[in-house]
Amino acid sequence: MRGLLILVLILTSTSVKGQLLTVLDKNDTPVSFVHVRFTDIDNKESIIISNDMGVAKLPNDLNKQAGILTLISHISHVTYLDTLLFIEDITIHLEPSEILLDQVVVTAQMTENISENAVQKIKIIDQKRIAAQGAVSLRDLLEQETNVRLSQDNILGSSISIQGVSGQNVKILMDGVPIIGRLNGNIDVSQINLNNIERIEIVEGPLSVNYGTDALAGTINLISKKSGESNLFINSYYETVGKYNLDCLMNYSANNHQLSLSGGRNYFDGWSPSDNFRLIPTATIADTNRYKQWKPKEQYFARAQDVFSKNEWSIRTYADFFFEEILNRGFPRMPYFETAFDDIYNTWRKNLGVDFNTKVNDKNLSVIVSYNNYKRIKNTYFNELTTLEEVISENEADQDTSVFNSVMSRGSFGGAFSENISTEIGYDIVIEEARGRRIEGNTQNQGDFALYSNTEWRPSDKLIIRPGVRLSYNTDYTAPLAPSIHIKYNYKKFILRSSFAKGFRAPSLKDLYFEFVDINHNIVGNPNLKAENSNNYQLSVDWKNIRNNYIIRGEMSFFYNDIHDLITLANTADDAYSYINIGKYKTLGTKANINVTYEFIKFNAGVSYIGRQNDIDEVAPYSYALEWISNCTYEITKWNSKVAVYYKNTGALPSFWMNAEGEVLESTIDGYQMMDVTYSWSNPRNPLKVVVGCKNAFDVKNVNSISGLPGAHQSDASGMSVGYGRTFFTSLKWSLK
Amino acid sequence: MRFFLCIIIAASITGCNQGEIPISPHASGDLETTMIEIGSEYKNQIFYNLESNSVVSQNEKTDWDLGFLTGVDDWHIVINSSKAGGIWRVENLDFEDTPEIEDAVWEFDSPNGNLDSTAIDDYRNSDKFYVVDLGYSSTEEQLGYVKLKIDSVNESGYFIRTADLAHEQESFVFIEKDADLHRVCFSFSENFAVDIEPLSSDWDMLFTQYTNLFYDPFSAYLVTGVLINSQYISVAVDSEKEFNEITYEDIESYSFSSNQDVIGYDWKDFDFDSGFYLIYAEKNYIIKDGLDQYFKIHFIDFYDDLGEKGHPTFEIQQL
C-alpha cells in the first residue's frame, strides 16, 4: 500500500513538475499581475495572469514536450520573450523598463544621466512614440507637443516657437552639433528626418551656458541611433495626400566597431484644396490647378556612421548628406493663362564630424569637431505653357544662392571632484562663413570662441544647486556673459526645479551686413549691433506615484521670459532703414500635465497657457493663448497590436500691434485641432511591423488670420496653411537580423 | 516575406514628378499684339504711334535732362522724370555761389503733366536759380548735380546758363523753340539741345519710366508705364466691359482725359508674394488721337518670352 502511494506520488509529482513560471524583478521581488502568453509547438495559445506571488501556472492542455514560446509583459518592465522548455519549474527575472527607471538624457549633462536626476527639466520623445505616431520629420512630432507652436510657410518651410518665443531663438542640435542653415532666422523642421533618430530631448528655457547663441527659448537635441547589433531595416511610408517615402538602415557590428549606413527618399506631390485623390501621381494638364498651396517636395538623405569603442573610450565618426527640391509652379498669368513663372528651390546639407569620448580618472572627457555646409539655390524659369518650354529668367533678382559653411568644435571635461561637488569646464568654438546676394561684400565671416563651466553642488542628497557661466568672444559683436543657476530639490514624491538663466541671440549675418540699396529702397545692416538678451525664470514641480498596476505622474511648471535689445527694423533717417536693438518682448506662461499608465493603457493630458507681449513702450497688453493636448495608447497584447490617439487643441492666438496713429489694435489667428489615430501591429516573430492610421482627423486645412495689417508691402493674409485635410497613411517596416 | 518587401519597395518609389501636359493656345482673332522693348533695366524711352502701330523713335533715358516747352508765350521747363531726379529752387544765393546739397528741398513735376505744378516755377523777373539732381542711370549710378539759371525767355527761345556746383565752369546756351515739337530736349552733358522727341504730330504714347508722387507720407517713386502726348491725345478708361465687347458706339459714354499719366503704370502691380508683376488686363484704354480716330488697347503682359521684365505687351484694335 505504502509502495503504491509513493508510486502515485512520484507519478503525480512528475506531471506537477515543470508547470510553474515564477516572475521576479531584478531585486527578487515577485511581480504580480504579469500577462504571460504561452504558445506551444502546435501553435496553441494560452494567456495567464500571474498571481501576487508572481506565479503563473502553465495550462495542462499545452504540449510540453517541445519548447513553449513565452511572452511576459508588465507595465513597468521590459517585455520578455523566449522559448522555454518546461521540464522543471522556471523562474524569470524581468528588467525594469524606462517608466520605472526613467530615461537616459545627455543634453547639457556632465555625464550620461537619467531625466529624473537632471537639474534641468528635460522632455523626452522616444522611439515608441515616433513609430506609433507615424512621424516622418521633426515637424510631425512637434505638432503634438505643448508649448511648441508651428508656423507653415509653403516655401520657407515649417518654423517653430517655444514658450511663445520664435524659432530663431531655438537651438536644434543633432547629437550635440548645431544644425545650421536658417532662413529668416528659422530652421525648416520638415527637413529634419527621423528615420535615424533614437530619441529627442527637448529643454525649455535657455541653455546658453552650454550652447551659446540661439538657445534662448529652448533646445531640441536629436540623438541618433547607435545600435550594438547587426541588422537591416527597410521602411516605407505612404500617405493619401501624396507622400511616398522609402528608407533603409543597416547596422553592422564587429571588432569593437558599430557601423551604420542609412539612406532614403521622401517624395510629396503637393496639395491644393482643389486636388482630387490619385493613388499614383500622373501627368497633369498645365492649367490653373498647377499652382499648389503645399508645394511638391523631393528629399534624399544618406548617412554613414562608425562608432569604435574600446574600454573606456569611444570615437564616433559620421558623415551625412541631405538634398531637397521644392517645385513652385506659378499660377498661369493673366489674361490668357499661357505663361507662368516657376521657381525651383534646391537645398543641400552636408555634415561631417568626429566625436571622441573617454574617461580620465572617472571624469568624462569629450571632444567633438564638425564641419557643416548648407547651400540653397533658387532658380526662376519662365514657362510657356502651350509648349512647356522653360527658359531661365533673365532678371537678376530671380536667381539666388545662399551658402553657409561652419566649422565647430566643442569639448568638455568634468565629473565628480568630491563627494558632493561635480564640475565641468568646456570650450565651444564656431567659425562660420555666409555668402549671399544681399550681404555686404557678398561674403562675411564670423568667429565665436567661448569657455563655459558648470558646477553641481549637493549639500544634501535631496538638494542640487548648479551654477554655470559662459564667457565668449565674437569677432562681430560683443557677446554677453551668460550665467545661469539651477536648483533641484527632492521632497518625498515631489521634485522641485527652479532656475534663472540669461540667454542671448547673436545678431545674424543678415542683421549685421544686409545691403539692399537701390533707387526705391535703402535698407542696410548695422555692424554695431549688440546681441539680444533675455532673462528666463522657471519653476516646475514633478510628482510620481508608482503602484503595482498603475503609475501616475503629474507636472506643473511656470516660466517667464524677458527679452530686451530685440533687433528690429527701424527708420533711421529720411528714407533709410536699418536694424537696431530697441525691441522688447516678454512671454510668460504655465503648463500642467498628467500622465497615467494603467495596465496596458497609457493616458496623457496637458494644458498650456502662454501670454506674449511684443512692444517697445510696453503699452500693448499681453495676448494669451491656450492649448491642450491629450493622447492615449492602448496595447492589446493578444493581437500584438497597439491603438493610439494623439490630440492637440491649439487655441486662437491674438496679437496686438500699434498703427501709425499710436492706436493699439488686435489681430487674431484662429485656433484649430489636430488629431491622429493610429493602429500598430508588431509580432515579435514576424520581421514585418505595420502602422496604419489617420492623420488630421478633423480635416483642418487653413485657419483664418484676421490681420488687416496696412502698408505698401503687406498682403492681407486670408488664411494660414496648417494642414492638408484628413489623410490616411500606412507605414511598413521590415527587419532582418 | 520577400513578397512584403517587394510591396514595400514598389509602393514607395511610385512617387515621382510626372510632368505636365501643355495647354492649347488661345485664338487671337484679328487683334494685333504689340510688344514694346523698354528693356529689363528700363533703359529706353520709346515713342509710339497708334495708327501705324509702330515705334517712331527711341532713346536712352539718360540722353536728356530737361524739356523746354515750345509754345510762343510759353516759359515752362519740365524734368526728364525717368531719372528720378528733382529740382531745388535756390533764392538767397548768387548763381556763382556753391550751395550745400544737404540743405536742398527737392521739388518734382506733377506726374499728370499739369504745367501749373512744375518743379521749375516762374523764374521770370527773379534772380533765383535751380540745382538740378541729374538722378540715376539705368544701372543705378548717381549722375550728380548741376546748376541752372534762365536769364531770359522770349518767343524764339530760352537763354540759359549752366554750371557745375563748385562753379568751376560756366556755359551760356541758347535753346531755340521748335514749333513742330512739343518740347525741346536739353542734355547737361552735351550742354546742347539734343534730338529726342519726334514731330509732335507723329507720336501718341511714350513708354518710359517716370516719377510718380505719393502723398501721406510723401515719396517720389520711380514707376514704369505710359505717358501720353497730351497735346493731341485723350484717353478714357473702362474696367467694366470686356475688351472684345467695346465698340465704336460706346465712345459717347466715355469721358476722356488729357492727363499725361492717364494710362500710367497701374495696369500692372508688383505682387510681393510671388515676386512678379500681375497684369490687370481688364483695364481697357480707349484712345482718341489727333486725327479724331479711336483705338482700344489693353495690356496683356510685362515680360517677354524669355521672362525679362520691361516689355509691356498690349492688344490694339482700331474702333
Size of interface A-B (CB pairs under 8 A): 148
Question: A265 - beta bridge partners?
Answer: A246, A300
Cα–Cα distance, A209 to A188 (Å, whole number): 25
Which residue is it, cell 483642418? A700
Task: Inform me whether the pLDDT recorded for B47 exceeds 80.
Answer: yes
The 3 state secondary structure assigned to A153-179 is ECCCEEEEEECCEEHHHEEEEECCEEC
Cα–Cα distance, A170 to A162 (Å, whole number): 7
Contact across the interface for A285 and B281, Cβ inside 8 Å = no
Q: Is A390 at the interface with chain B, CB within 8 A?
A: no
Task: Inform me whether the pLDDT recorded for A712 exceeds 50.
Answer: no
Closest CA to A54 of A90, A84, A102, A86: A90
Query: B4 by DSSP, 3-state: which?
Result: helix
Predicted local distance difference test score (pLDDT) of residue A714: 36
pLDDT band at A419 (very low <50, low <70, confident <90, very high): confident
Query: If residue A330 lies in a helix (H) or strand (E), which one and from where to where?
Result: none
The mean-pLDDT minimum among A393-402, A554-563, A633-642, A647-656 falls in A393-402
Residues in chain B with CB shorter than 8 Å from the CB of A270 are none
Task: Inform me whether the pLDDT recorded for A293 exceeds 50.
Answer: yes
Mean pLDDT of all residues in chain A? Answer: 84
Quick one: what percent of chain B has pLDDT higher than 70? 95
Q: Determine the residue type at B191.
A: N
Best A382, A681, A718, A731 residue to mutate vs chain B (most B CBs within 10 Å): A382
Which residues of chain A from 622 to 681 reach within 8 Å of chain B, CB to CB? none
Q: Which of A267, A337, A392 is nearest residue B15 as measured by Cβ atoms?
A: A267
Residues in chain A with CB shorter than 8 Å from the CB of B222 are 519-520
Sheet holding B157-164, edge to edge: B87-90, B129-133, B145-153, B157-164, B170-176
Contact across the interface for A334 and B307, Cβ inside 8 Å = no
Mean pLDDT of all residues in chain B? Answer: 87
Contacts of B29 (CB under 8 A, 6+ apart): none
Cα–Cα distance, A203 to B239 (Å, whole number): 58
Predicted local distance difference test score (pLDDT) of residue B20: 83
Contact across the interface for A286 and B23, Cβ inside 8 Å = yes
Q: Which of A244, A334, A391 is nearest residue B281 as measured by Cβ atoms?
A: A334
Q: Is A254 at the interface with chain B, CB within 8 A?
A: no
Which residues of chain A from 295 to 354 reach within 8 Å of chain B, CB to CB? 296, 298, 327, 330-331, 333-339, 341
Q: What is the pLDDT of residues A299-344, one digit of tens each?
A: 999 999 999 988 888 899 999 999 999 998 888 887 788 888 888 9
A238 to chain B: closest CA residue? B12
Tell me the shortest Cα–Cα distance from A316 to chain B, in angstroms: 31
Predicted local distance difference test score (pLDDT) of residue B8: 63
Task: Inform me whether the pLDDT recorded for A254 exceeds 90.
Answer: no
pTM: 0.80
Cα–Cα distance, A428 to A171 (Å, whole number): 15
DSSP state of A190: G
Between residues A212 and A2, the one the model is more confident about: A212
pLDDT band at A710 (very low <50, low <70, confident <90, very high): very low
Contact across the interface for A281 and B222, Cβ inside 8 Å = no
Omega before residue B217 within 30° of 0, cis: yes
Q: What is the pLDDT of residues B13-26, one digit of tens each?
A: 667 777 888 888 87
Task: Inform me whether the pLDDT recorded for B107 exceeds 50.
Answer: yes
Contact across the interface for A575 and B279, Cβ inside 8 Å = no
Contact across the interface for B9 and A246, Cβ inside 8 Å = yes
Residues in chain B with CB shorter than 8 Å from the CB of A577 are none
Q: Is A711 at the interface with chain B, CB within 8 A?
A: no
Task: Inform me whether the pLDDT recorded for A718 exceeds 70.
Answer: no
Q: Is A720 at the interface with chain B, CB within 8 A?
A: no
Predicted local distance difference test score (pLDDT) of residue A225: 86
Residues in chain B with CB shorter than 8 Å from the CB of A234 are 5, 8-9
Q: Which of A286, A296, A393 is nearest residue B22 as measured by Cβ atoms?
A: A286
Task: Inform me whether the pLDDT recorded for A717 exceeds 60.
Answer: no
Between residues A53 and A438, the one the model is more confident about: A53
Task: Inform me whether the pLDDT recorded for A575 exceeds 70.
Answer: no
Q: Which of A341, A391, A519 is nearest residue B274 as measured by Cβ atoms?
A: A341
Task: Inform me whether the pLDDT recorded for A462 exceeds 80.
Answer: yes
Tell me the shortest Cα–Cα distance from A397 to chain B, in angstroms: 9
Residues in chain B with CB shorter than 8 Å from the CB of A687 are 1
**CA torsion angle A282 A285 A287 A293 (round to 10):** 10
Cβ distance B108 to B86 under 8 Å?
Answer: yes
As separate numbers, helices (DSSP H) first and strands (DSSP E) second, chain B gives: 1, 21
Cα–Cα distance, A321 to A177 (Å, whole number): 15
Residues in chain A with CB shorter than 8 Å from the CB of B15 are 242-245, 267-269, 280-281
Task: Inform me whether the pLDDT recorded for A143 exceeds 80.
Answer: yes
Query: A134 by DSSP, 3-state: which?
Result: coil
Predicted local distance difference test score (pLDDT) of residue A715: 38
Cβ distance A672 to A722 under 8 Å?
Answer: yes
